[in-house]
Amino acid sequence: MRLRLIIAALTLIAALLLLPQFLSDYAQDYAAARAWLHGADSNGRTADLLAECCAAMAPLYGGMQTAHPPFATLLALPLAWLPWPVARLAWLVLSWAAIVGAWQIGRVAPAVCAATASFWIIALGLGTHEPLLFLLLALALHLAERRPRVVGALVGLCAAIKVYPIVVIGGLLAARRYAQAAIALATGALALLLCELVLGLGVTRGWLRFVPINTQFYVDNIGNGSLVRLVRAVVPGAPPTPVALAVLALLSLPLLPRLRRSDWLRPLVPVMLLGSPLSWRHYMGLAALDQLGWAEQIALALAGLAALLIGMGVLPADNMAPVVQGPLLIVLIWMWYRASRPAAAIPSAAPQQAAPLPEER
């Protein structure tokens, strides 16, 4: 525990020191929430919405609106009353607390915490929702056998915050946890209904219209670690959504024997990150939900450090993407292969229990 807290403290210090160098992703949610407070459309262009409070940084966001689901805007409402610098700092601290909480709840090995710390520094600097997803999924694993209804609700909340965790609902179905899957779907639907009631009717439709535009804009970005981008590199112009669905299906089918043993989340971590049309490097902190061997930890640590040094300007950005994305892709593919091996699907004699996140391998 002490080592985890030391690593957590160093992660927070690094994120605070590097904060000015990040173009905040959280500004999208802050701008959308602040727009609602002032009676404007929360699906408006982020640059226009920020012009009222943060004119200096507003032009940096171009002509795009928030790409996050409306529930992310709802989560930002309590902080939208605050000035931007205060709101950004508050969200960073809350996100950091979520990471520390997930490490503690899952009893994640200090070596794994250290190996993934660079990705969490990036996530904290950007203000993304991955720390919150990490906490919710770690809680779901921790409560899997004791509070099945709560687990369903936690998974549903994850899918309401970001789209790609919806894959986990498929894991619940494959594990024959039908009640939990139904609760997850109901929770996600209730979250969208709440957004419609609070943010205004049509807010979900406005977001859904923008999702394919945002995906098309970013899917071929060199920093995108998704297999969808690699498929499009071979087949230029392939539509991202059908490709993503095909990739998800192909990756999930070999995992069915293990999923049916009620190991409904861990095998799907690499599937989520490889199959999502957009998969950024700060998502890699979620890899700690699964077991990581020493080779995977070293690869993650080196790739994360390189990504951090590139962001700081210490390493040149030109032609450095393979140095970061290559090891991350290899780690995810290896995690998937390890989970899909026939040996991993042999049922145990004892009843399957939800184990805590691995303390050590």
Instruction: Provide the pLDDT for residue 56.
Output: 86
Q: Can you give the pLDDT at residue 316?
A: 78
Which of 224, 227, 319 is closest to 275 using CA atoms? Answer: 227
Q: In this structure, how many other beta carbons lie within 10 angstroms of the beta carbon of residue 310?
A: 18
Query: What DSSP designation does 262 have?
Result: T
Q: State the pLDDT at residue 319.
A: 72
Interhelix angle 148-161/178-199, rounded to 10 degrees, is: 40
Torsion angle in degrees (nearest 10) through CA of 182, 183, 186, 187: -150
pLDDT score recorded for residue 344: 57
Output the DSSP codes for 20-53.
GGS--SHHHHHHHHHHHHTTS-TTSBHHHHHTTT
Helix axes 294-312, 321-340, angle to 10 degrees: 150
Which pLDDT does position 343 carry in this prediction?
A: 60
The reported pTM is 0.91
Q: Which residues partner with 65 through β-bridges?
A: 45
Exposure on the CB side of residue 25, measured as CA atoms within 13 A: 15
Structure confidence at residue 293 (pLDDT): 93
Q: At what angle do helices 178-199 and 203-218 cross, to 10 degrees?
A: 110
Separation of alpha carbons 124 and 96, rounded Å:
7
pLDDT tens digit string along 131-184?
999 999 999 999 988 899 999 999 999 999 999 999 999 999 999 999 999 999
Please give the C-alpha separations between residue 298 and each of 273, 294, 305, 328, in angstroms, as whole numbers.
19, 6, 11, 11
Domain coordinates of the chain in residue numbers?
2-342
**Could you say which residues of the chain have pLDDT below 50?**
345-361
For position 358, what pLDDT does the model report? Answer: 40
